[in-house]
Amino acid sequence: MSGYQRIACLSTEAVETLYLLGAADQVCGISGFTVYPPEARRDKPKISGYSTAQLERILAVQPDLVVAFSDMQADLAAQLVRAGLEVHVFNHRTLAGMLRMVQALAALVGRVEAGEELIAELSAAMAPSPFLMELPEGARRPRIWFEEWNEPLISGVGWVSELVALAGGEDAFPELAAHHGAKQRIVADPMDVVARAPDIIIGSWCGRRFVPDQVTARPGWEVVPAVRDGFVREIKSADILAPGPTLLTRGLPQLRALIAEWHKRPEVAA
Protein backbone atom coordinates (compact mmCIF):
# COMPACT_ATOMS: atom_id res chain seq x y z
CA MET A 1 0.00 0.00 0.00
CA SER A 2 1.35 3.44 -0.93
CA GLY A 3 1.44 6.41 1.42
CA TYR A 4 3.30 7.36 4.56
CA GLN A 5 3.83 4.49 6.98
CA ARG A 6 4.97 6.15 10.23
CA ILE A 7 2.91 9.19 11.14
CA ALA A 8 3.46 11.26 14.26
CA CYS A 9 0.25 13.10 15.20
CA LEU A 10 0.61 16.31 17.19
CA SER A 11 -3.15 16.90 17.18
CA THR A 12 -5.94 14.68 18.47
CA GLU A 13 -8.22 14.87 15.42
CA ALA A 14 -5.50 13.42 13.19
CA VAL A 15 -5.26 10.37 15.46
CA GLU A 16 -9.01 9.83 15.46
CA THR A 17 -9.24 10.23 11.69
CA LEU A 18 -6.42 7.83 10.91
CA TYR A 19 -7.98 5.16 13.10
CA LEU A 20 -11.34 5.62 11.37
CA LEU A 21 -9.56 5.25 8.03
CA GLY A 22 -8.15 1.90 9.14
CA ALA A 23 -4.62 3.30 9.37
CA ALA A 24 -3.98 2.66 13.08
CA ASP A 25 -0.81 0.71 12.31
CA GLN A 26 0.59 3.76 10.52
CA VAL A 27 0.33 5.95 13.64
CA CYS A 28 3.64 5.92 15.51
CA GLY A 29 3.03 8.69 18.07
CA ILE A 30 0.17 10.80 19.39
CA SER A 31 -0.67 13.98 21.25
CA GLY A 32 -0.93 13.56 25.00
CA PHE A 33 -4.40 15.16 24.77
CA THR A 34 -5.74 12.30 22.66
CA VAL A 35 -9.02 10.86 23.97
CA TYR A 36 -10.47 9.06 20.93
CA PRO A 37 -10.12 6.28 20.25
CA PRO A 38 -9.21 5.02 23.75
CA GLU A 39 -7.02 2.28 22.32
CA ALA A 40 -4.78 4.91 20.75
CA ARG A 41 -4.25 6.54 24.13
CA ARG A 42 -3.54 3.11 25.59
CA ASP A 43 -1.23 1.75 22.90
CA LYS A 44 0.63 4.62 21.23
CA PRO A 45 3.56 6.64 22.63
CA LYS A 46 2.64 10.19 23.64
CA ILE A 47 5.06 12.56 21.99
CA SER A 48 3.65 16.07 22.46
CA GLY A 49 1.29 18.42 24.21
CA TYR A 50 -0.61 20.93 22.12
CA SER A 51 1.72 23.89 21.70
CA THR A 52 4.73 22.25 23.36
CA ALA A 53 6.81 19.19 22.60
CA GLN A 54 10.34 17.87 22.94
CA LEU A 55 11.96 17.44 19.55
CA GLU A 56 13.86 14.38 20.75
CA ARG A 57 10.64 12.60 21.72
CA ILE A 58 9.18 13.10 18.25
CA LEU A 59 12.39 12.05 16.51
CA ALA A 60 12.54 8.92 18.68
CA VAL A 61 9.46 7.40 17.01
CA GLN A 62 11.14 7.81 13.59
CA PRO A 63 8.22 9.33 11.67
CA ASP A 64 8.20 9.69 7.92
CA LEU A 65 5.48 12.34 8.33
CA VAL A 66 4.41 14.64 11.17
CA VAL A 67 0.83 15.96 11.18
CA ALA A 68 0.12 19.17 13.12
CA PHE A 69 -2.73 21.64 13.48
CA SER A 70 -3.00 25.42 13.48
CA ASP A 71 -0.76 28.42 13.79
CA MET A 72 -0.24 27.54 17.45
CA GLN A 73 2.01 24.67 16.32
CA ALA A 74 3.78 26.72 13.65
CA ASP A 75 7.00 27.22 15.63
CA LEU A 76 7.14 23.53 16.48
CA ALA A 77 6.51 22.63 12.84
CA ALA A 78 9.41 24.87 11.79
CA GLN A 79 11.73 23.08 14.23
CA LEU A 80 10.70 19.73 12.82
CA VAL A 81 11.29 20.88 9.24
CA ARG A 82 14.77 22.10 10.21
CA ALA A 83 15.40 18.69 11.74
CA GLY A 84 14.74 17.12 8.34
CA LEU A 85 11.21 15.82 8.87
CA GLU A 86 8.25 16.16 6.50
CA VAL A 87 5.41 18.09 8.12
CA HIS A 88 1.80 18.72 7.12
CA VAL A 89 0.02 21.43 9.10
CA PHE A 90 -3.77 21.67 8.88
CA ASN A 91 -5.37 24.98 9.83
CA HIS A 92 -9.12 24.54 9.31
CA ARG A 93 -11.83 26.22 11.39
CA THR A 94 -14.96 24.99 9.59
CA LEU A 95 -16.78 21.71 9.03
CA ALA A 96 -15.94 21.87 5.33
CA GLY A 97 -12.30 22.26 6.30
CA MET A 98 -12.58 19.23 8.58
CA LEU A 99 -13.86 17.14 5.67
CA ARG A 100 -10.94 18.35 3.53
CA MET A 101 -8.62 17.26 6.32
CA VAL A 102 -10.14 13.76 6.21
CA GLN A 103 -9.70 13.64 2.44
CA ALA A 104 -6.08 14.81 2.64
CA LEU A 105 -5.13 12.35 5.39
CA ALA A 106 -6.74 9.52 3.44
CA ALA A 107 -4.59 10.39 0.43
CA LEU A 108 -1.44 10.70 2.55
CA VAL A 109 -1.84 7.15 3.88
CA GLY A 110 -3.00 5.61 0.61
CA ARG A 111 -6.60 5.04 1.73
CA VAL A 112 -8.54 7.21 -0.69
CA GLU A 113 -11.55 4.90 -0.89
CA ALA A 114 -11.82 4.68 2.90
CA GLY A 115 -11.63 8.47 2.98
CA GLU A 116 -14.51 8.80 0.54
CA GLU A 117 -16.62 6.42 2.64
CA LEU A 118 -15.84 8.30 5.86
CA ILE A 119 -16.66 11.66 4.26
CA ALA A 120 -19.98 10.26 3.05
CA GLU A 121 -20.83 9.05 6.57
CA LEU A 122 -19.90 12.38 8.14
CA SER A 123 -21.80 14.35 5.51
CA ALA A 124 -24.89 12.23 6.16
CA ALA A 125 -24.63 13.07 9.87
CA MET A 126 -25.15 16.73 8.97
CA ALA A 127 -28.63 16.09 7.56
CA PRO A 128 -31.48 17.70 9.55
CA SER A 129 -32.59 15.59 12.49
CA PRO A 130 -36.14 14.14 12.44
CA PHE A 131 -36.95 16.13 15.58
CA LEU A 132 -36.20 19.45 13.87
CA MET A 133 -38.27 18.45 10.86
CA GLU A 134 -41.27 17.81 13.14
CA LEU A 135 -41.21 21.21 14.88
CA PRO A 136 -44.00 23.64 14.01
CA GLU A 137 -43.21 26.08 11.24
CA GLY A 138 -41.66 29.21 12.69
CA ALA A 139 -40.59 27.53 15.94
CA ARG A 140 -38.01 29.68 17.70
CA ARG A 141 -34.42 28.54 17.76
CA PRO A 142 -32.86 28.71 21.23
CA ARG A 143 -30.02 31.21 21.56
CA ILE A 144 -26.84 29.50 22.76
CA TRP A 145 -23.85 30.95 24.59
CA PHE A 146 -20.97 28.54 24.01
CA GLU A 147 -18.18 29.15 26.52
CA GLU A 148 -14.80 27.85 25.38
CA TRP A 149 -13.00 29.44 28.34
CA ASN A 150 -14.01 31.28 31.48
CA GLU A 151 -11.10 33.60 32.43
CA PRO A 152 -11.47 35.59 30.24
CA LEU A 153 -14.77 34.62 28.64
CA ILE A 154 -14.14 33.19 25.18
CA SER A 155 -16.85 32.33 22.68
CA GLY A 156 -16.78 29.30 20.36
CA VAL A 157 -14.73 28.87 17.22
CA GLY A 158 -16.28 28.68 13.75
CA TRP A 159 -17.14 25.00 13.62
CA VAL A 160 -19.02 25.31 16.95
CA SER A 161 -21.24 28.03 15.50
CA GLU A 162 -21.91 25.76 12.50
CA LEU A 163 -22.79 22.83 14.77
CA VAL A 164 -25.16 25.01 16.79
CA ALA A 165 -26.98 25.99 13.60
CA LEU A 166 -27.12 22.37 12.37
CA ALA A 167 -28.56 21.29 15.72
CA GLY A 168 -31.32 23.91 15.50
CA GLY A 169 -29.86 26.63 17.68
CA GLU A 170 -28.71 30.22 17.23
CA ASP A 171 -25.19 31.30 18.17
CA ALA A 172 -25.39 34.14 20.72
CA PHE A 173 -22.20 35.71 19.31
CA PRO A 174 -22.09 34.79 15.61
CA GLU A 175 -19.88 37.76 14.83
CA LEU A 176 -17.04 36.23 16.86
CA ALA A 177 -17.15 32.76 15.31
CA ALA A 178 -15.33 33.83 12.15
CA HIS A 179 -12.16 34.71 14.08
CA HIS A 180 -9.44 32.06 14.19
CA GLY A 181 -7.60 33.24 17.29
CA ALA A 182 -9.04 32.84 20.77
CA LYS A 183 -7.95 36.37 21.69
CA GLN A 184 -10.25 37.70 18.99
CA ARG A 185 -13.19 35.81 20.48
CA ILE A 186 -12.95 37.27 23.99
CA VAL A 187 -16.08 38.80 25.50
CA ALA A 188 -14.51 41.31 27.85
CA ASP A 189 -17.66 42.31 29.74
CA PRO A 190 -19.68 39.38 31.17
CA MET A 191 -22.78 41.58 31.08
CA ASP A 192 -22.59 41.48 27.28
CA VAL A 193 -23.55 37.81 27.54
CA VAL A 194 -26.42 38.73 29.85
CA ALA A 195 -27.63 41.24 27.27
CA ARG A 196 -27.82 38.52 24.62
CA ALA A 197 -30.15 36.51 26.93
CA PRO A 198 -29.03 33.00 25.93
CA ASP A 199 -31.59 30.23 26.40
CA ILE A 200 -28.86 27.60 26.74
CA ILE A 201 -25.33 27.91 28.08
CA ILE A 202 -22.84 25.25 27.06
CA GLY A 203 -19.47 25.10 28.74
CA SER A 204 -16.52 23.35 27.14
CA TRP A 205 -13.49 24.68 28.92
CA CYS A 206 -10.57 23.45 26.84
CA GLY A 207 -8.74 20.75 28.77
CA ARG A 208 -10.47 21.61 32.03
CA ARG A 209 -13.63 20.44 33.83
CA PHE A 210 -16.59 22.76 33.39
CA VAL A 211 -18.14 24.00 36.66
CA PRO A 212 -21.77 25.12 36.12
CA ASP A 213 -22.01 26.61 39.63
CA GLN A 214 -19.29 29.12 38.75
CA VAL A 215 -21.38 30.27 35.79
CA THR A 216 -24.70 30.56 37.63
CA ALA A 217 -23.03 32.48 40.49
CA ARG A 218 -21.71 35.28 38.26
CA PRO A 219 -23.11 38.68 39.32
CA GLY A 220 -26.11 39.64 37.22
CA TRP A 221 -26.37 36.28 35.46
CA GLU A 222 -29.36 35.15 37.51
CA VAL A 223 -31.65 36.86 34.97
CA VAL A 224 -30.22 34.90 32.03
CA PRO A 225 -32.92 32.50 30.73
CA ALA A 226 -30.45 29.59 30.64
CA VAL A 227 -29.57 30.13 34.30
CA ARG A 228 -33.16 30.69 35.35
CA ASP A 229 -34.43 27.58 33.56
CA GLY A 230 -31.56 25.23 34.41
CA PHE A 231 -30.02 24.96 30.96
CA VAL A 232 -26.35 25.35 31.88
CA ARG A 233 -24.65 22.21 30.61
CA GLU A 234 -21.28 20.79 29.60
CA ILE A 235 -20.07 19.19 26.41
CA LYS A 236 -16.61 17.72 26.93
CA SER A 237 -13.92 19.57 25.02
CA ALA A 238 -12.74 16.33 23.40
CA ASP A 239 -16.20 16.01 21.81
CA ILE A 240 -16.49 19.49 20.31
CA LEU A 241 -13.19 21.39 20.37
CA ALA A 242 -11.03 18.91 18.43
CA PRO A 243 -11.78 19.64 14.74
CA GLY A 244 -12.15 16.08 13.52
CA PRO A 245 -14.94 13.55 12.96
CA THR A 246 -15.92 13.65 16.63
CA LEU A 247 -17.57 17.01 15.94
CA LEU A 248 -20.28 15.16 14.05
CA THR A 249 -20.22 11.79 15.80
CA ARG A 250 -20.25 13.12 19.38
CA GLY A 251 -20.61 16.90 19.52
CA LEU A 252 -23.57 17.36 17.18
CA PRO A 253 -25.73 14.59 18.76
CA GLN A 254 -25.26 16.17 22.20
CA LEU A 255 -26.25 19.57 20.90
CA ARG A 256 -29.32 18.11 19.21
CA ALA A 257 -30.37 16.28 22.38
CA LEU A 258 -29.99 19.43 24.47
CA ILE A 259 -31.99 21.56 22.03
CA ALA A 260 -34.71 18.89 21.88
CA GLU A 261 -34.85 18.96 25.68
CA TRP A 262 -35.22 22.74 25.60
CA HIS A 263 -38.15 22.49 23.17
CA LYS A 264 -39.83 19.90 25.41
CA ARG A 265 -39.56 21.91 28.64
CA PRO A 266 -42.89 22.08 30.54
CA GLU A 267 -43.94 25.61 29.57
CA VAL A 268 -43.64 24.68 25.89
CA ALA A 269 -45.16 21.20 26.18
CA ALA A 270 -48.16 22.74 27.92
Residues 155, 148, 229: CA angle, nearest 5 degrees:
80
What CATH number has the domain bearing residue 115? 3.40.50.1980
Same domain as 188, residue 95: no
What confidence category does residue 1 fall into, taking pLDDT thresholds of 50, 70 and 90? Answer: low
Residue 2 lies in a domain: no
The count of structural domains within the chain is 2
Residue 1 lies in a domain: no
Same domain as 80, residue 27: yes
Q: How many helices (H) and strands (E) are present in the chain, helices listed first?
A: 16, 11
- What was the pLDDT predicted at 145? 98
Tens digits of per-residue pLDDT, 85-133? 999 999 999 999 999 999 999 999 999 999 999 999 999 999 988 888 8
Same domain as 169, residue 194: yes
Same domain as 64, residue 102: yes
Same domain as 136, residue 243: yes
Same domain as 205, residue 105: no
Instruction: Please provide the average confidence, as pLDDT, over all residues in the chain.
Output: 94
Please, are residues 87 and 77 in contact by the beta-carbon 8 Å criterion? yes
Q: Has residue 270 got a pLDDT over 60?
A: no
What confidence category does residue 134 fall into, taking pLDDT thresholds of 50, 70 and 90? Answer: confident
Residue 108 lies in a domain: yes
Tens digits of per-residue pLDDT, 223-245? 999 999 999 999 999 999 999 99
Q: What is the pLDDT averaged over residues 38-57? A: 88
Q: Has residue 267 got a pLDDT over 80?
A: no
Q: Has residue 207 got a pLDDT over 60?
A: yes
Q: Which residues form the domain of 256?
A: 130-269
By C-alpha distance, which of 113, 88, 110 is closest to 101? 88
- What was the pLDDT predicted at 200? 98
Range list of β-strands (E), 110-249 = 143-150, 153-155, 170-171, 186-187, 200-203, 232-234
Q: Has residue 269 got a pLDDT over 50?
A: no
Same domain as 31, residue 57: yes
Helix then strand then coil, in percent of the chain rounded to 5, is: 50, 15, 35
Same domain as 143, residue 114: no
Q: What percent of the chain has pLDDT over 70?
A: 97
Same domain as 144, residue 117: no
- Final residue before a domain boundary, out of 125, 145, 172: 125
Q: Tell me, rounded to whole angstroms, the distance of Cα 237 from its chain centroid.
A: 7
- What was the pLDDT predicted at 65? 98
Beta-bridge mates of residue 155: 147
Same domain as 80, residue 136: no
Same domain as 75, residue 204: no
By C-alpha distance, which of 226, 223, 218 is closest to 143? 226
